[in-house]
């Protein structure tokens, strides 16, 4: 991180991908890593929710439309690729670990049990556990279907990730610490 400005200009800019299912902690981790390493933060989820809002629908409704219209996912993923190509970014994304592995310096997958993730989403979004659980299941089924159909990506195959963290028992601080060590090592090897 103490590189001179000319060193920074001559090196390829770093790309870190944080993936995982809804409620796993990926956004929390991605934002913190971006902050710690003075990198840009980009969320495909924020862009997707904005697309839904601009259409006057919620993201679950957009999922159903996206199941029939691949241009929606292609637009989201093209923007993620564009952000990755700019570099010096932490991408918070569901499918980026697979689609952007050619641009990634480090790819981290964050997960937890369905019940834990539903509880987190319920707390975060101020909704019932049952409603959060139903939404997560619906979103995951839709993403699994779309990502296989459009990209031949099996979202259960985590072999493309450099690091997988189960946040079931690993708290936020330890998740950040583990990830920061990995990022520092990547930076030192550059």
CB 44 within 8 A of CB 93: yes
100: exposed, middle or buried (C-beta count within 10 Å: 0-12, 13-18, 19+)? buried
Which of these, 103, 89, 105, lies nearest to 39 by C-alpha position?
Answer: 89
* Rounded Cα–Cα distance for residues 103 and 16 (Å): 9
Assess whether pLDDT exceeds 80 at residue 110. Answer: yes
Residue 189's pLDDT band, with cuts at 50, 70 and 90, is: confident
pTM: 0.90
* Residue pLDDT, tens place only, 138-148: 999 999 999 99
Assess whether pLDDT exceeds 70 at residue 3. Answer: no
Distances (CA, A) of 20 to 1, 24, 25, 176: 27, 6, 8, 15
Residue 4's pLDDT band, with cuts at 50, 70 and 90, is: very low
| SS3 of 124-169 | HHCCCHHHHHHHHHHHHHHHHHHHHHHHCCCCCCCCCCCEEEECCC
Q: In what order do the strands lie in the sheet with 40-43?
A: 40-43, 89-92, 15-19, 106-111, 163-166
Residue 11's pLDDT band, with cuts at 50, 70 and 90, is: low
Domain annotation for the chain: domains and CATH numbers: 14-183 (3.40.50.300)
* Residue pLDDT, tens place only, 59-92: 999 999 999 999 999 999 999 999 999 999 999 9
Averaged over 21-50, what is the pLDDT? 96
Q: What per-residue confidence (pLDDT) applies to 190?
A: 79
17: left (phi over 0), alpha (psi -120 to 50) or beta: beta
Q: What per-residue confidence (pLDDT) applies to 6?
A: 44
Q: What per-residue confidence (pLDDT) applies to 95?
A: 94
Which of these, 31, 32, 164, 160, lies nearest to 104 by C-alpha position?
Answer: 160
């Amino acid at each position: 991180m103490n590189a001179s400005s000319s060193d920074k200009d001559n090196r390829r800019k770093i790309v870190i991908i944080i993936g995982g299912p809804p409620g796993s902690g990926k956004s929390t981790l991605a934002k913190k890593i971006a902050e710690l390493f003075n990198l840009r933060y980009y969320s495909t989820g924020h862009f997707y929710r904005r697309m839904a809002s601009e259409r006057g629908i919620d993201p679950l409704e957009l999922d159903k439309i996206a199941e029939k219209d691949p241009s929606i996912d292609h637009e989201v993923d093209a923007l993620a690729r564009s952000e990755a190509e700019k570099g010096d970014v932490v991408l918070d994304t569901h499918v980026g670990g697979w689609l952007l592995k050619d641009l990634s310096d480090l790819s981290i997958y964050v997960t937890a049990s369905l019940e834990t993730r539903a509880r987190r989403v319920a707390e975060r979004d101020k909704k019932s556990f049952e409603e959060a659980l139903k939404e997560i299941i619906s979103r995951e089924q839709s993403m699994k279907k779309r990502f296989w159909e459009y990209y031949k990506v099996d979202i259960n195959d985590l072999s493309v990730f450099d690091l997988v963290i189960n946040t079931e028992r690993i708290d936020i601080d330890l998740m950040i610490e583990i990830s920061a060590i990995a990022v520092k090592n990547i930076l030192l090897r550059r």
